[in-house]
Chain A
Amino acid sequence: MAKWIIGIVVVILIGVGLWYSGVLGTFMTPPAPVQQTATTTPQTQQAAAQPEDGMSANNDASDAAITQDTAAIDAQMQGLTTDSANVDTSLNDKSVQ
């Protein structure tokens, strides 16, 4: 009987240890919302919980927040236009002999 009790205590202690070290927490993480599940390559990483540059708080859907978010997106869109043009330029560069 004592062996059973000791065994149960050991199992409980191991379980508490795993929980405390975060191993169990890794498997208990809830899945991301559908809109955040876009796949990434090994070169990319998921967005952090912090709002992107210029964006309002993630849980703020007011008119002001939407206006702010739209402005931040437009700024990035302009940056993308520049980035895309730079791709073209880099591919069209010619070596001078």
Chain B
Amino acid sequence: MTLKQFIFRAALLLGLITLTPALVLAQTSVTTGVNASASVTGTSATVSASTKITATLAKAKTRGDTEIDRRTAALTDLNTRVQAMQKVTDAFKQSLSTTVTSEISALATLKAKIDADTDAATLKTDLQSITTSYRVFALVLPQGRIAAAADREVTLVSMMSTLGAKLQARVQTAGQGGADVTALTAALTDMASKLQDAQTQAEAAVSTSAALTPDNGNATQMASNTAALKAARGDIKTAQADLVAARKDITTVTAGLKAVAPASAAASTTAQ
């Protein structure tokens, strides 16, 4: 081995010794970098999925809350209307109000549970129970609305009957004074007939709908309830048409009285 060869080999060995740690570091660096990157990506995916699930749950909760709020608002409005009913018995009014209040309370409990749900399976079950409770809501609401409309119709029958008695007295007085009151008498007769029918229809609407019970998913009973409620609605509409006709009769009579009797003569008439 010459001196030149010794120096070359020594330099080569020294170079290898010097470079090896750097190569190892470089290798480690690359590997660590990849691993770190992979790890961060996995965390990001997990966070993303978790965020997505949370968003889905929140969206479902919002939808459930909206449905419950809508029904609660409708029932609350109905309860206010029930309190203003005039012609039903206190017991009937109380019974209806209690039913409505119970349903509102049940919906509030369900809403609180939905808002507190933390897993999808439980939330799904609770959201489905909105539909289950809907069976009650779908009956209670129209029952109450029909009862309220019927109550208003009976109230109107009473009011128009009172006015009819006054108009009859006035027509009688006008007739005794020599006026031709044939048309007015006919209008009063028609009015009485319409009021009688309106009363009958309003009572039928309540009788048809008041005794119905929730179907609890029974398709046959659901169809039966739906048919009964629609029939009751038909009764309400018929009574309403009767009352509109009776109101026109009132206009006919009042206009006729103005035509046949001097205004001064009618200033202080007393009904019998």
Binding site for B on A (CB under 8 A): 33, 35-36, 38-45, 47, 51-53, 55, 58-66, 69-70, 72-74, 76-77, 79-81, 83-84, 86-91, 93, 95-97
**B149 & A52 in contact (Cβ 8 Å cutoff):** no
Main secondary structure of the interface of B (DSSP, over half): helix
Q: Contact between B131 and A86 (Cβ–Cβ < 8 Å)?
A: no
**A95 x B145 contact (CB < 8 A):** no
Question: Would A73 and B163 count as touching, CB distance under 8 A?
Answer: yes
- Bound form: Cα–Cα A43–B148 in Å: 12
* Nearest CB in chain A: distance from B247 CB, A: 6
- B2-10, B26-34, B39-47, B262-270: which lies at the interface: B262-270
From A64, A76, A84, contact of B236 by CB (8 A):
A84
B144 and chain A: residue at smallest CB distance: A90
Task: Count B-side interface residues using an 8 Å CB cutoff.
Answer: 68
Within 8 A of A (CB), among B121-146: 130-131, 134, 137-138, 141-142, 144-146
How many angstroms between the C-alpha atoms of A40 and B155 in the bound complex?
12
Measured in the bound complex, the distance between the Cα atoms of B257 and A62 in whole Å is 12
17 other contacts beyond A69-B163, A73-B156, A90-B145, with CB at 8 A cut-off?
A: A35-B164, A39-B199, A40-B154, A40-B203, A42-B92, A43-B206, A45-B88, A61-B167, A62-B268, A66-B166, A69-B162, A72-B159, A80-B149, A80-B152, A83-B81, A83-B152, A91-B142
Q: Among B160, B167, B206, B237, which residue has its beta carbon within 8 angstroms of that of A84?
A: B237
Chain A residue at smallest Cβ distance from B63: A96
Which of A35, A44, A53 makes the CB contact (< 8 A) with B161?
A: A35
Residues in chain B within 8 A of chain A (CB atoms): 63, 67, 74, 81, 86-89, 92, 130-131, 134, 137-138, 141-142, 144-149, 151-167, 169-170, 192, 195-196, 199-200, 203, 206-207, 210, 229-230, 233, 236-237, 240, 243-244, 247, 250, 254, 263, 266-271
A58 to chain B, nearest CB (A): 6
Q: In the complex, what's the smallest C-beta–C-beta distance from B204 to chain A, in angstroms? A: 9
Nearest residue, chain B, Cβ from A47: B158
Closest 10 CB pairs of A and B: A61-B166, A83-B149, A61-B271, A90-B142, A38-B199, A61-B269, A90-B141, A95-B134, A47-B158, A43-B92
Q: Are A44 and B154 also in contact (CB < 8 A) when A38-B199, A63-B266, A87-B236 are?
A: yes
| Chain B: minimal CB distance from A48 (Å) | 9
Query: Given A61-B271, A63-B267, A84-B236, are A93 and B138 neighbors across the interface (CB < 8 Å)?
Result: yes
Q: Are B192 and A35 in contact (CB under 8 A)?
A: yes
Q: In the bound complex, do residue B131 and residue A38 qualify as a contact, i.e. CB atoms below 8 Å apart?
A: no
Count of A-B contacts with CB under 8 A? 153
Known A39-B203, A62-B267, A62-B269: A44·B159 in contact at CB below 8 Å: no
CA A38 – CA B142 in complex, angstroms?
Answer: 25
A38 near B63: Cβ-Cβ < 8 Å: no
Q: A69-B162, A90-B145 are in contact. Are A95 and B207 (CB under 8 A)?
A: no
**A51→B167 CA distance, assembly (Å):** 16
Cross-chain contact of A61 among B144, B148, B270 (Cβ < 8 A): B270
Residue of B nearest to A34 (CB): B192
Between A53, A55, A87, the greatest number of chain B beta carbons within 10 A of the residue's beta carbon is seen for: A87
Name the A residues within 8 Å of B165 (CB-CB).
Answer: 33, 35, 58
